[in-house]
Chain A
């Protein structure tokens, strides 16, 4: 939790407050952005954009509407998606010939899953699926919000999520009955 004192300093534009806010929130923001972008330089750039926006708009933060962490996370996610759009990386309909395959170790029950396992699988998931999956499952957006963020239909978001899960099940649990959806 970020102290109210630090937020107050930032609202006044004090550099010391901004430094303290950065130090308190940077790991969290970094972790959020890293879920969408993997290149170090891009993460760095996106973090700078995100914090620039946080400092510029901190006066609009309303503590009655949610926690500071959820506010700053939204900014970070938006910034990451903007970069993805800018680099034209986002594709919610990825041709299958671009899809990488990956295999997992011997884990066969997700109760024993670790974050590293999930991240390993997510690396192989096509961008479009991964982004919807991350937004919904990890960052807690609902389909309407995702649809708005990605300029797609809510139904598309649902189907992307279902396909992403199929993909992950398939690679995690080696379920022969699972079949990959046609992606195009």
Chain B
């Protein structure tokens, strides 16, 4: 602190304690407002944060619960367990393998678990075709029956044992159950066909063209000469829940864009000094004396700026989207959706080209973009399937929410995923 600073500091220190309150600032006039502000509810922005937070967690929780509930039903399928046990038991006794002899439709009456579930299993065999097996499953609500037909690859065993004396028992080889008769896909699904957890968290890698907008509210002049160049987005997401044509996806996304501040021959006026100027001369005609009037005026100069600054914008985001797919034809489909994202580690890096000394030195510590923000998004996507890839025409918009702990003048970009995109699903 130099002597000039100290002088000013002393001036204020000496004066501030003797400051008088102007009219209208007395306790009587002010206390109403103070108490009102003390009781003011918390800001709305917190609502957005908590809505997003709770929504994300509920979504994840539902996904996890569903995953474990479905998984736990797999080994507990009553038909599969009983049958496998029967196979092992009977094979040890005296397995008779016969896939040559034609057989007629046989009703299986003795398997306890099957009869309890009111499921009838019949087999058909023809000399020239592989063994065909069908199951007739009564539907609870409609009293109608549903037949699931399938072809075993290996062998069917028809046998009777001493222990199961009364009626013949159809026994399938282990391979049939492992490869053909997946209880989750037949009987399991018949019982639990409402919502299914997507198999193995189906992953999708995607990317596409990105357009961006966003204004720097601090400075209008800079906005006039600002433009965003097209960028890209890319990401990895997993389908965690699927119901009919609906999907819930969770994933990560990266975005990249460039903002240009293009100052080519921009001129403005700057103050560059104060000069004392003679503004009038008065001559006294009686005694001949001359008086001059001089005034101090600020002098100005015109400055021309000619440089180009570009900032790279990079963001990382956690994303959750809900999609509804419409199949238009065999290869063409339309999906509509909406979702939310948490963008974090938004990075700025500024570069200046030109000879101007006043660089716009934006960097990680001098941001012009929000470092963190929540976004809401929604849009449409037309997909054309080419093998495992789908080529997409996108119209998808992501708007950043107001919620932020950072200065409000920092840019909150709006992202437009408009144009081409590509997705590879596994």
Query: Is A88 within 8 A of B218, CB to CB?
Result: yes
Min distance, Cβ B108 to any Cβ of chain A, angstroms:
76
22 contacts between A and B (CB under 8 A): A18-B34, A26-B21, A27-B16, A27-B19, A44-B30, A47-B25, A49-B37, A52-B38, A85-B408, A91-B219, A93-B219, A96-B268, A103-B295, A113-B7, A113-B11, A114-B11, A156-B366, A165-B4, A182-B303, A182-B358, A184-B268, A184-B358
Query: Is B409 within 8 A of A90, CB to CB?
Result: yes
| Residue A30 lies at the interface, judged by CB distance under 8 Å to chain B | yes
Nearest first, the 8 closest Cβ-Cβ pairs linking A and B are: A101-B298, A52-B37, A48-B33, A31-B19, A96-B270, A97-B268, A27-B19, A52-B38
| Residue B276 lies at the interface, judged by CB distance under 8 Å to chain A | yes
Chain A residues closer than 8 Å to B366, beta-carbon distance: 152-153, 156
Give the docked Cα–Cα distance between A99 and B31 (Å).
38
Query: Is B274 within 8 A of A95, CB to CB?
Result: no
Give the docked Cα–Cα distance between A178 and B274 (Å).
9
Give the docked Cα–Cα distance between A33 and B273 (Å).
31
Query: Is A171 within 8 A of B274, CB to CB?
Result: yes
Task: Name the interface residues of A131-184: CB closer than 8 Å to any CB of B.
Answer: 136-138, 140, 151-153, 156, 165, 170-171, 174, 176, 178-180, 182-184
Min distance, Cβ A51 to any Cβ of chain B, angstroms:
5
Give the docked Cα–Cα distance between A123 and B71 (Å).
71
| Residue A111 lies at the interface, judged by CB distance under 8 Å to chain B | yes
Query: Is A95 within 8 A of B25, CB to CB?
Result: no
Task: Name the interface residues of A1-53: CB closer than 8 Å to any CB of B.
Answer: 18-19, 22-23, 26-28, 30-32, 40, 44-45, 47-49, 51-52
4 further contact pairs, Cβ within 8 A, besides A86-B408, A110-B4, A180-B271: A31-B15, A52-B37, A85-B407, A85-B408
Query: Is B27 within 8 A of A23, CB to CB?
Result: yes
| Residue B1 lies at the interface, judged by CB distance under 8 Å to chain A | yes
Task: Name the interface residues of B32-74: CB closer than 8 Å to any CB of A.
Answer: 33-38, 40
Query: Is B7 within 8 A of A111, CB to CB?
Result: yes
Min distance, Cβ B53 to any Cβ of chain A, angstroms:
24
With contacts A103-B298, A171-B274 taken as known, whether A26 is within 8 angstroms of B408 at the C-beta atoms is: no
Q: Which residues of A contact B (CB under 8 A)?
A: 18-19, 22-23, 26-28, 30-32, 40, 44-45, 47-49, 51-52, 55-56, 85-86, 88, 90-97, 99, 101-104, 110-111, 113-115, 118, 136-138, 140, 151-153, 156, 165, 170-171, 174, 176, 178-180, 182-184
Give the docked Cα–Cα distance between A44 and B272 (Å).
37
The secondary structure that dominates the B interface is mixed
Number of A-B contacts (CB under 8 A): 154
With contacts A44-B24, A180-B271 taken as known, whether A104 is within 8 angstroms of B296 at the C-beta atoms is: yes
Give the docked Cα–Cα distance between A93 and B352 (Å).
16
Chain B residues closer than 8 Å to A32, beta-carbon distance: 16
| Residue B292 lies at the interface, judged by CB distance under 8 Å to chain A | no
Within 8 Å by CB of A19, from B27, B276, B297, B409, lies B27
With contacts A44-B30, A93-B218, A184-B305 taken as known, whether A85 is within 8 angstroms of B409 at the C-beta atoms is: yes
Closest chain B residue to A23, Cβ basis = B27
Chain B residues closer than 8 Å to A182, beta-carbon distance: 270, 303, 356-358
Chain B residues closer than 8 Å to A111, beta-carbon distance: 7
Residue in B17, B269, B270, B357 with the greatest tally of chain A CB atoms within 10 Å: B270
Query: Is B15 within 8 A of A115, CB to CB?
Result: yes
| Residue B5 lies at the interface, judged by CB distance under 8 Å to chain A | yes
With contacts A44-B33, A85-B407 taken as known, whether A96 is within 8 angstroms of B271 at the C-beta atoms is: yes
Give the docked Cα–Cα distance between A182 and B270 (Å).
8
Query: Is A137 within 8 A of B296, CB to CB?
Result: no
| Residue B293 lies at the interface, judged by CB distance under 8 Å to chain A | no
Query: Is B1 within 8 A of A137, CB to CB?
Result: yes
| Residue B406 lies at the interface, judged by CB distance under 8 Å to chain A | yes
Min distance, Cβ B372 to any Cβ of chain A, angstroms:
13
Chain B 407-421: CB-based contact to A (< 8 A → 1; otherwise 0): 111000000000000
With contacts A19-B31, A52-B37 taken as known, whether A153 is within 8 angstroms of B298 at the C-beta atoms is: no
Chain B residues closer than 8 Å to A110, beta-carbon distance: 4, 7
Chain A residues closer than 8 Å to B12, beta-carbon distance: 115, 138
Give the docked Cα–Cα distance between A138 and B300 (Å).
30
Min distance, Cβ A50 to any Cβ of chain B, angstroms:
9
Query: Is A170 within 8 A of B221, CB to CB?
Result: no
| Residue B8 lies at the interface, judged by CB distance under 8 Å to chain A | yes
